[in-house]
Structures are given as structure tokens and as C-alpha cells.
Amino acid sequence: MRILIFEDSSTDQLAPITTSRPAYAITCASYRLIDWVRRLNLPTAAEVRSYLRPIQQADFADLQDVDSWQPTDQPVLAINARCVPSIENFQTLQRLVARKASGTVKSGHDVAAILLMPQDLERCKIGPGAGLAAPMLAAEGIDPIDESLPMFHWPHEVIRWHMQLMNASLEDRIANGNYEQREDGVFLAPGAKIGDYAVIDTSQGPILLDENVQVGPFCYFSGPVYAGAGTRVIEHAALKDGVSLGHTVKIGGEVEASVIEPYTNKQHHGFLGHSYLGSWINLGAGTCNSDLKNTYGRINIEYGDRKMATEMQFLGCIVGDYSKSAINTGIFTGKVIGVCSMLYGFVTQNVPSFMNYAQIFGQVAEIPADVMVATQARMFARRKVQQRQCDIDLIRAMYDQTSDQREEVDHAEIF
């Protein structure tokens, strides 16, 4: 059997999270879908948006190029890249791999997975040049399977699923990882260290520190908490109630129920709660977000011109890759910040990608792609990461992909 992970036309609804990464690379409760698919140990290809293909080739070299696929008599399991990275979904995928008949798994009106037998592949175009729509077309006429594969539909759902899945995901890591239990509920990988005078509460979930995580003195942990390899937790930090940190993160202040992707810095004082931060973000000292309305009511969120009810009482901000905040920035409840934007003062509305947003000072302006390419080079150099041509090309591609967002900004209203 072969695996095909595919993005569909609804992937763009997950922007800004998916503006810079394939949907299978969204972190939720410390795992990505690709992490679970790799456990299937089968030849795997991925079909993503064209501008992300160079990044996929560079950062996911184990994935085959679907254009190189040759006809075989092997079945194909096509998996929607928006599937939630959960243990339950992994177990469903295992059952599909073992299945001997074709079938389709739906999530609402969306196709979550299609299992195609060799005879199906003779009429279905899956492979070189088929494009993103091919799995959807292949699903037509295939009988449904009585299985469930929950999927992400909107960015705030990543935070909701993260809170639900965190404990189960960390239990899986404990069972399958190389951790030493330092004390009840506290697990350290080789090279991880906790500074003096830490206060640790594992009554609601474990604390997992991966390889070479360094924790300063006087820190507070209330599980479940996961810190990826090479992460640094600054002294006096408080991490609580479901925090997932990617590798090579610098984290300080108070963080609650949030997902932070690799290479992001929030190392100074300030509150971050019920939020998602992409990669290569820097939050200036004193940056805080609100995750609760003054009325204690359910939070509505806006995506473009669409307003929807999240049914969540706690929801902070969603921030795309490479965005930055100045000191003492305040982000209001349920705000969405695009990629490559700079924030100053109070953020009272959603911010498009590639924008200098300083509404409090009457200044909102577009950031040229060249400025972000130069910023990227300086950031990478500080972390001793080589800036590749595909990284530069991604910045330019994201600038083009998000141009319509900036056209919709009502400058007259802002100024």
C-alpha cells in the first residue's frame, strides 16, 4: 500500500496557519498529522499547494514526489491533510490500511480519506499531474465507510482540539519516548534540566521536557506541558493548563493552553492564553493577549468578511509565521494576525499579512516582501540557521498569496 496526503480546496480556510506550511504540518497537542502518518511506515507522498512544494521538498525529504509515482498494483490510501493529529485518528488510519476493500470516509461534506484498490486506480487519476482535486474526484462513486476522521475546518479549532487532546498525546509520548521520570508526572529526555526552586503541579497532566530543554530557576509548571527539543524556559516563567512548545523555542512570562511552533520567541513577561503562534514569531516585552470577554460570553471570531460563533469561552489570538509585536502590545480577544506583520499598541481588529499595524498611532502600512526577506536572514543568522532559496521564495510567494487581504484594508477608516 502507498499513502497520499492531500490538501483540498478548504485548506485556505486555515490561514494564516497554513499560509506558510502544509496542513499536515500543523502542530496540535504536540503532534502533527505527518508524525502519525510516518508511524504507518508505508511509502508516502504529499500533494500540496504549488508554492509550498519547494519547502516540502526541503523540510519533508522523506515524502515522495507524487509526480514520480509509477503505476503499480498496490492500493492507495489518500488522507486529507486537514485531519486532526490524534491517537484516535491514527488508529482509524491503521484500520483503513488493514482494510481489503475500497471506501470513503467523510467528515461532514468533506472527504477525510479514500481507500482505493488497484481496480479503482485504473479509472481514477491519482498520481503525476493529477492535481489537488484528484482525490475528491476519485471519491465519487466509492462507497462510504463507517469510520470517523475529525478534521480542522477553521483556525480556532486547532486550539480547541489541542486542549482536548493534550493529555492523551503526552501519554503516548511517555509510552514511546526516551524519558526518565524525575518525579511523579515529570519526564525528562536526555540533556533536559530544570532549574532550582521550580514549583510543579501534575495533578491535571504530566510535564514532558524533550532533549536539551533548559529551564531557569523559579519556574511554575501546571500540566499538561510539553517542551520540544532545545527549548529554553526563562526564569520565573509560568506554563500551565495545556502548553505545547515546538523545538528551539524561547519562552517566558505566563502561558496558558497554547500552541507555539518551532523557533518562536516569547521570552519576556506578559500573558499568552488559548492561542496559536506560528514559527519565527517574536513577541516584545509586555505583549499580552485577552482570551476572555468582559461579559464571560462565548467568543465570535472573524475570518475575512465571515463572522462565526466559536462556542468557546476562552480564545486568544492566532498569529501567522514571522509576525512580531513591539513592547507592551495588547491583542484583543479572538484576533487573527496574518504572516509577516508588525504589531504596535492595541490590536483591536484582525491584521492582514505583511502589514505594519499601529492603529493607535494612526499608522498602517504595507510591508514589502524584500523587507521580510532581509528580516528573515537576520533572524536565521541569530539561530545559526542557513537561509535557503526556498525560504526566500516562500516569503515572496506568501506576499503574492495574501495581496487580496491588504486590498481589503479600509485605510480611510484606520487613519
Q: Are residues 94 and 36 part of one domain?
A: yes
- Structural domains counted in the chain: 2
Q: Which of 2, 11, 31, 4 is nearest to 110 (CA)?
A: 11
Domain boundary among 139, 168, 185: 139
Q: Are residues 87 and 235 part of one domain?
A: no
Q: Residue 171: its pLDDT value, please?
A: 97
Domain boundary among 139, 172, 189: 139
- What pTM, to 2 d.p., does this model score? 0.94
Angle at the Cα of 392 (from 386 to 393), degrees rounded to 5? 135
Q: Residue 297: its pLDDT value, please?
A: 96
Walk along the chain (415 residues) and give the pLDDT tens digit of each residue.
999 999 999 999 999 999 999 999 999 999 999 999 999 999 999 999 999 999 999 999 999 887 777 767 789 999 999 999 999 999 999 999 999 999 999 988 899 999 988 877 766 656 555 544 455 556 677 889 999 999 999 999 999 999 999 999 999 999 999 999 999 999 999 999 999 999 999 999 999 999 999 999 999 999 999 999 999 999 999 999 999 999 999 999 999 999 999 999 999 999 999 999 999 999 999 999 999 999 999 999 999 989 999 999 999 999 999 999 999 999 999 999 999 999 999 999 999 999 999 987 778 999 999 999 999 999 999 999 999 999 999 999 999 999 998 886 654 343 3
Axis-axis angle for helices 156-176, 87-98 (nearest 10) = 70
Q: Are residues 238 and 123 part of one domain?
A: no
Q: Are residues 93 and 14 part of one domain?
A: yes
Within a domain: residue 150? no
Q: Residue 129: its pLDDT value, please?
A: 53
CATH number of the domain within which 33 lies: 3.90.550.10
Within a domain: residue 146? no
Within a domain: residue 172? yes
Within a domain: residue 395? yes
The 3-class secondary structure across 287-344, one letter per residue, is: CEECCCCCCCCCEEEEECCEEEEEEECCCCCEECCCCEECCCCEECCCCEECCCCEEC
Within a domain: residue 148? no
Q: Which of 316, 328, 259 is nearest to 289 (CA)?
A: 316
- Per DSSP, the three-state class of 240 is strand
Count CB neighbours of 68 within 10 A.
9
Q: Report yes or no: 394 and 54 within 8 Å, Cβ to Cβ.
A: yes
Q: Are residues 115 and 199 part of one domain?
A: no
Q: Are residues 323 and 182 part of one domain?
A: yes
Q: Are residues 213 and 88 part of one domain?
A: no
Task: Determine the length of the chain.
Answer: 415
Domain limits for position 40? 2-139
Residue with cell 518525579: 183
Q: Are residues 170 and 133 part of one domain?
A: no
Q: Residue 34: its pLDDT value, please?
A: 98
Q: Are residues 161 and 131 part of one domain?
A: no
Distance of CA 152 to the CA centre of its chain: 11
Signed CA dihedral, 176, 182, 187, 188: sign only? negative
User: Please, which residues bridge with residue 116 across strands?
Assistant: 76
Separation of alpha carbons 340 and 335, rounded Å:
15
Q: Residue 142: its pLDDT value, please?
A: 85
Q: Which of 280, 201, 206 is nearest to 246 (CA)?
A: 280
